[in-house]
Amino acid sequence: MKERCFQEFFKKSPIAYSCHRAIFDNEGIPYDYEYLLLNEAFEDLLKIQGTDLINKTFYQVFPEGWEGEEQWKELLQNAVVNYTSTQFDIHRESIQKWIRVLVFPLCREIIGCIYHDVTTEYALNKETQKLEMELFRNNRSLLELTKKLEQKNKMLNDLAIKDELTGLYNRHFLDQWIEKEMSRADRDHQPLSMIIFDLDHFKRVNDIWGHPVGDEVLKETANLANSLICDPDFLVRLGGEEFVIIMPGSSIQRALAVAETIRQTLEKYKYPIIGHLTASFGVAERMELESYYSWYKRSDKAMYRAKEGGRNRVYRSEDQDRLLNAPVNIKWKAEWESGNHMIDEQHRELVESANSLLYLFLAESEKGKIMPAVDKVLDRIIKHFHDEEQILVETGYPDYEKHAEIHKTLLDKVFQFKKSYQAGDLKLSELFSFIVNDLIIGHIQNADTEFFPYTQTKALELNNASY
């Protein structure tokens, strides 16, 4: 009964099975295999009749060989000789299917095989490979497109920031870049200088030889000047025959030396067709916190002074000596907060007053406008000193008298400065320097910060009490 059930199970199983007996040569090596058993599922899967196979060897059934013959024989031999199971996939071209075969030993010379149709799996893998290949091609196309787009963007960017004629950076680039460079110079306390130069009598070149020759002169000038500077300095064509060199980390002394080198080179150079041509130079080192407009204006003014002085020369900014290192745009700092609302508000107003005075100075306003502004700022300082002393008394600041004496000394000195300026014994820059650097900023940063811990503690106590 059990044997019959086993036979029926083998015969009717939905899984394809077959059993084979190995045939050995004289050396004990299997060289062919006889079909012993196979079931209906095997016949359905491989599209072959069992009666055509039973008790026949592979070579009797396939005298010309069969698909995957060498692979079959190698794996079957491994199962018989080494008594191990193995698995492989083979493509049956005759039935257009991929078959996965599991080969396993049953006894010394008998092996069994289990067969599975994996055609769908291979089709999916093939489709996946196809999709992967398509994705690869699409990615490659996308990369190529991205590369072309980057190249075009670079071209557009170059058009936006490069001068088309000379290839130098243009004014648009300078406007974008200069604020970052000025911020870096302020942060690192590094010098930053500017050279502006303009070709002398360039209009004559265009009038006599025409604009094409003039364009060649501009290109030659750009190449000459560019060859005489080094990183991080860079040359910009502002427009027409005017150029500017920005020199990060360079003092006015180095900028003057570079400007003179370029001036001499241009003076000696013989341009094709037109011959010799000269240029006039203006040089200015930027003051800490100075705006770009103010810095540029000083450089440009020095260049026009060089023109007026006879051309073909280098002039430095006159204001370089007169500003006495006064900052041009003072910004409020967090460390100036005293904790007292009134004192901080008045300090902010005084900082704005200092900026207003510096603006008048740089704008070279008339004396009739400057002195009323000075008097207005002094009145505001006097009121602030009085209010500050009252607050220090009310809060019980222990060094009140010492602080009040500092106020008196500063006021006495500023009125002496004012009197000397009005008598013609003192430069305006010295009066402004004292008001800005000593009376306002210096006093806030030095004397006032001594009572800040006290007023900040008082402010904290008041806040806690209110809760």
Please list the active-site residues: 241
**284 - beta bridge partners?**
194
Contact 287, 230 (CB under 8 A): no
Please give the Cα distance from 291 to 28 (Å, whole number). 99
Burial 124-146 (b: 16+ CB within 10 A, else e): eeeeeeeeeeeeeeeeeeeeeee
SS3 of residue 417 by DSSP: helix
**192 - beta bridge partners?**
248
Whether a cis peptide bond, with omega within 30° of 0, leads into 105 is: no
Q: Which long-range contacts (CB under 8 A, 24 or more apart) does 292-300 make?
A: 292/178, 292/179, 292/182, 294/328, 294/362, 295/194, 296/194, 296/196, 297/362, 299/194, 299/195, 299/196, 299/244, 300/196
Backbone angles phi, psi at 339, to 5 degrees: 95, -15
Residues 6 or more apart whose Cβ sits within 8 Å of residue 186 = 288, 289
Q: Which residue in 116, 119, 115, 91 sits closest to 17, CA to CA? A: 115
